[in-house]
Structures are given as structure tokens and as C-alpha cells.
């Protein structure tokens, strides 16, 4: 500045300093605005993915409760109806791992769209089925490609950090659970109309088409690595075979699948990926998948004769039991929202939380088996909704922690295949146990849960994620 026509030399450094400070403030302000904008975009992406989960189970749950009644109306005997029902589980058993690995290779967007569209085709054919043969044929596309939720969970594991993964997956399960609660209500109303089943199947087809459109118009670019969402920095992972980051780039742009196809034929990469994972799955993670199988069968045995057991033990009408099941489903959805505080209490130790939730599940199954009154049944059902919902999220997170998120699609697919094995075995065990007592299936479930707890107690090494590097080095 000038004083009496002369420049004050002492003020020069101060002016330069003030200019630098203003530039720094503008730069800091710009970075803050960019971070806030990235947080909004990341949250928008997660909300879109939650909506995909909601629509998926909403559409499915409109139709699935009506399948057994419809196939019998087509003239199928109870035995044939049972075989038709089992065929879906068998298809899921063999397709879960394959489709999950396929999503690791070609990218999440392509695989998610393909699964939704083929499932939509299956429900459209189901609505047009006029005999048992067409009914069985219509179940094939859904049996092979109905892995929307698995791929969505794999996508979540791609874009959120390991510490926040259980919380985000829990929220996703909550959104899906709400769809499973509302779907049967809508389906039950529609089936009362003329040609109600066909109308319900067609509406389910439209829901899946809407879901495909949502995925197509996803804000994929907003999920790019480096974005943040209130402490959820999105990160980049790599494909199992060590190739460039095609799988997660697919979640950021639509060019990932094309790049992967240029690199190699997708199905060749799928076969190679499955071969590279074999040693890890059967030598390093056998206990995790065995625990998943045992706990899944324990819960399935609990539900297998729930309606019949309450009627025989307490004279409760099926309608009232239906209300209790809906109540339990709603509590299971709420459990996903409570996962955040629980994880903070456990310092994000998924293995410890899984162990304690399994102990609670085992205790509640035993309480239900010995319940002298309906009050004890309601209490056990209420707490079981929380323990099983938390356990499902923790076992998925533990798989990804030990196996490594770069092969998340394959790992989640293998987990779904394990659950499918449980769906095949549990009805057989339930039938045998019911010959002894109406309380036989849940008692057997408590015994299986106890075995799972024993295995977890002997294998605590996974809490530190020791197996993570092994998969990366394959």
C-alpha cells in the first residue's frame, strides 16, 4: 500500500500471505464441496441398489406362496408337486457358484441385468403355463438365473470398505425384507380375482422389467472409487485372476464388460477362476461353509412344521400362525437397522457377533421346543428374528473377509449353493423328526446349531482375516 506516495515494503509479505490464504480457503472449499457432492452421489447409488433388492423380493414373494396351490390345480399329485418344488433348489445348487463367478469375470452390471431379465422371462412363462410340463419349464430360467440378491451383495462388497460392509449389507437385507413382507399381501389380494395366479405372475414379470430398467439407468459412474458416503469411501478391487479391475469398473462404467470380453472369453475365465478357488474353499474355508450349512438347516427345521406344530401343541389356527410369521418377518427386517450399533459394540468383529448370535439362536430353538405356553413361543420367535437376521449378515461378511472381496461374486455364490444343499436336506430331516414328535424338527435344529457353535469355538483364526491373502495370491 502507499503511504505518502511511497510503497510500504513491510506490507508486501503480508499481502502475499493473505492472497495465499484466500487461495487455500477457496481450494479447501472446493474440496469440501466435491466431497459433499461425492457423498450425495454415493448415497444415491446405494439407495438405488436397496430399491433393487426391495423390488426383487416384492415380485418373488407375490408368486412363490401360490406355487404349490397352482401346480396342484394343474392336476399334479402331491409327489409331483414336491418334485417340482425341489427342482428349483437343485438348479440353484449348481448355478449359484457359476453365476457368482461369472459376475466376477464379466462385471456386475452385465450379470445383474442378465439375471433380472431371464428371471422375468421365467415368471412370464409361469403366467402362461397351462399344464405341469410348462410349469416345470417356466421354473428353469428362474432356477438358473435368480441370483439378483447375491450379485447385489457382491456389488456392495465391491464399493464399500470392509469395516462398513456388514452395516450396508444389513440395510440391503432390510430393504429386501420389506419387499418380502408386502409381496404376499399383494399376491393374496390378486389371487382372489378371476385368473388371479396368471395376473399375479404377469405383474411379477412387470416388476422385474422395472427392476431391469432401474439397473440400466443406475448412476454407475457415481460408484467410482474414491467417492465417499459419510465414511463409506468406495474402493477399487481386482478380479480373482489378477487381471485389470474389470469387475469393479463395470460398477462404475458400462465399458467394463466389453474390456473383459476383449481380454479373454468369459466362460474360460470362469472355469479358471473356479479352479483357482477350489483349494481355498475346501482347505481354508471349509469351517465357514459348514457353519453356514448347519445354521441354515437349523432355521429351516424350525420353520418346516411351524404351522402344524402350533396347531397340534396349542390348538392355534393357521390364520393366527400366519400373523405370527408376518410379525417375525417384520422384526427380521428391523434387525438390519439395529446392526450398526451392535457392530460398534462388538468393535466390528463379525466372528464374535456370529458366535454369540448362533448361541442365542440355539438357545431360542431349544426354548421353542420346550415352550409350555404360546407366550414362550412368541418370545422365542421374536428374538429368533433378530438372531437369525444378524447371523445371516455376519456369515456373509466373514466369507468375504477371509476369502477376499475381489472374488465376492464367487464367494457369495458358493454360500448360496451351500444354503441350497440345506434346502434339500432339511425337509428330509424334518419328515423323520416329525415321526418322533411335533417338537422334533426344532430340537434337531438346536442340536445342529450346537455343532456349529462348537466348530466356531475351535476355529477363531478367521477373526483376523488370515485367509484373505491366500485368495489374493491364487
State the DSSP string of 341-369: HHHHHTTT-HHHHHHHHHHHHHHHHHHHH
Under a CB-based contact definition with an 8 Å cutoff, are residues 147 and 416 in contact? yes
Range with the lowest mean pLDDT among 193-202, 216-225, 392-401, 431-440?
A: 216-225
What residues have CB less than 8 Å from 54, skipping those under 6 apart? 175, 176, 178, 179
What average pLDDT does this structure show over 126-136? 88
The confidence score (pLDDT) of residue 281 equals 60
At 64, the pLDDT band (50, 70, 90 cuts) reads: confident
Under a CB-based contact definition with an 8 Å cutoff, are residues 73 and 194 in contact? no
Under a CB-based contact definition with an 8 Å cutoff, are residues 387 and 357 in contact? yes
Angle ∠(275,276,281) on CA atoms, nearest 5: 90
What average pLDDT does this structure show over 167-180? 87
The confidence score (pLDDT) of residue 240 equals 30
Under a CB-based contact definition with an 8 Å cutoff, are residues 358 and 295 in contact? yes
Q: How many CB atoms lie within 10 A of CB 127?
A: 19
Which residue ranges form the domains of the chain, and what is each CATH number?
39-219 (1.20.1250.20), 265-462 (1.20.1250.20)
Cell of 441: 424338527
The confidence score (pLDDT) of residue 274 equals 61
List C-alpha distances in Å: 469 to 402, 432, 464, 472.
8, 43, 11, 5
The confidence score (pLDDT) of residue 451 equals 96
Cell of 377: 413361543
* Confidence check: pLDDT of 219 > 80: no
Q: pLDDT by residue (tens digit) across 76-114?
A: 777 777 777 778 888 888 888 888 888 888 888 899 999
| pTM (two decimals) | 0.72
What average pLDDT does this structure show over 432-454? 92
At 472, the pLDDT band (50, 70, 90 cuts) reads: very low
* Confidence check: pLDDT of 462 > 50: no
Element (DSSP H or E) covering residue 303: helix 286-304
- Greater confidence (279 vs 209) lies with 209
Under a CB-based contact definition with an 8 Å cutoff, are residues 174 and 386 in contact? no
Cell of 64: 412363490
Helix segments in 191-254, DSSP class H = 196-216, 246-252
**CA-based nearest residue to 163, from 404, 338, 402, 397:** 397
The confidence score (pLDDT) of residue 366 equals 95
Most confident of 3-12, 58-67, 201-210, 283-292: 201-210
Whole-number Å distance between alpha carbons of 266 and 197? 38
- Greater confidence (204 vs 463) lies with 204
The confidence score (pLDDT) of residue 217 equals 87
At 267, the pLDDT band (50, 70, 90 cuts) reads: low
Partners of 3 in beta bridges: 6
Whole-number Å distance between alpha carbons of 309 and 332? 22
* Confidence check: pLDDT of 25 > 60: no
* Confidence check: pLDDT of 371 > 70: yes
Amino acid at each position: 500500500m502507499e503511504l505518502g506516495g511511497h510503497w510500504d515494503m513491510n506490507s508486501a509479505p503480508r499481502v502475499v500471505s493473505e492472497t495465499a490464504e484466500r487461495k487455500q480457503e477457496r481450494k479447501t472449499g472446493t474440496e469440501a464441496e466435491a466431497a459433499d457432492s461425492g457423498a450425495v452421489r454415493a448415497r444415491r447409488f446405494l439407495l438405488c441398489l436397496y430399491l433393487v433388492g426391495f423390488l426383487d423380493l416384492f415380485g418373488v414373494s407375490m408368486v412363490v406362496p401360490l406355487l404349490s396351490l397352482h401346480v396342484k390345480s394343474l392336476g399334479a399329485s402331491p409327489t409331483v408337486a414336491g418334485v417340482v418344488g425341489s427342482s428349483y433348489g437343485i438348479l440353484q445348487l449348481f448355478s449359484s457358484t457359476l453365476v457368482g463367478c461369472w459376475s466376477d469375470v464379466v462385471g456386475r452390471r452385465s450379470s445383474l441385468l442378465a439375471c433380472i431379465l431371464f428371471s422375468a422371462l421365467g415368471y412370464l412363462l409361469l403366467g402362461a403355463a397351462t399344464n405341469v410340463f410348462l410349469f416345470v419349464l417356466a421354473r428353469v430360467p428362474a432356477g438358473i438365473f435368480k441370483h439378483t440378491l447375491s450379485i447385489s451383495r457382491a456389488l456392495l462388497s465391491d464399493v464399500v470398505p470392509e469395516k462398513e460392509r456388514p452395516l450396508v449389507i444389513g440395510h440391503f437385507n432390510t430393504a429386501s425384507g420389506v419387499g418380502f413382507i408386502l409381496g404376499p399381501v399383494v399376491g393374496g389380494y390378486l389371487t382372489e380375482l378371476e385368473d388371479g395366479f396368471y395376473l399375479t405372475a404377469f405383474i411379477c414379470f412387470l416388476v422385474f422389467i422395472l427392476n431391469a430398467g432401474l439397473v440400466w439407468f443406475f448412476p454407475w459412474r457415481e460408484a467410482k472409487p474414491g467417492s465417499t458416503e459419510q465414511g463409506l469411501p468406495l474402493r477399487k478391487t481386482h478380479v480373482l485372476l489378477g487381471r485389470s479391475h474389470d469387475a469393479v469398473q463395470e460398477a462404475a462404467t458400462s465399458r467394463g464388460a466389453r474390456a473383459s470380453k476383449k481380454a479373454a472369453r468369459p466362460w474360460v475365465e470362469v472355469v479358471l477362476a473356479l479352479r483357482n478357488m477350489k483349494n481355498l474353499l475346501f482347505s481354508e474355508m471349509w469351517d465357514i461353509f459348514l457353519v453356514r450349512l448347519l445354521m441354515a438347516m437349523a432355521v429351516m427345521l424350525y420353520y418346516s412344521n411351524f404351522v402344524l406344530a402350533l396347531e397340534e401343541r396349542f390348538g392355534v389356527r393357521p390364520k393366527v400362525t400366519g400373523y405370527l410369521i408376518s410379525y417375525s418377518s417384520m422384526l427380521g427386517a428391523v434387525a438390519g437397522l439395529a446392526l450398526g450399533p451392535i457392530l460398534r459394540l462388538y468393535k466390528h468383529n463379525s466372528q464374535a457377533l456370529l458366535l454369540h448370535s448362533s448361541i442365542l439362536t440355539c438357545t431360542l430353538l431349544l426354548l421353542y421346543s420346550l415352550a409350555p405356553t404360546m407366550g414362550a413361543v412368541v418370545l422365542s420367535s421374536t428374538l429368533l428374528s433378530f438372531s437369525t437376521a444378524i447371523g445371516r449378515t455376519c456369515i456373509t461378511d466373514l466369507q468375504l473377509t477371509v476369502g477376499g472381496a475381489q472374488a465376492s461374486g464367487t464367494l457369495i455364490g458358493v454360500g448360496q449353493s451351500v444354503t441350497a444343499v440345506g434346502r434339500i436336506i432339511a425337509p428330509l430331516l424334518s419328515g423323520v423328526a416329525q415321526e418322533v414328535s411335533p417338537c422334533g424338527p426344532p430340537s434337531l435344529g438346536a442340536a445342529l446349531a450346537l455343532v456349529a457353535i462348537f466348530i466356531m469355538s475351535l476355529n477363531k483364526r478367521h477373526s483376523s482375516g488370515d485367509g484373505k491373502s491366500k485368495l489374493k495370491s491364487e
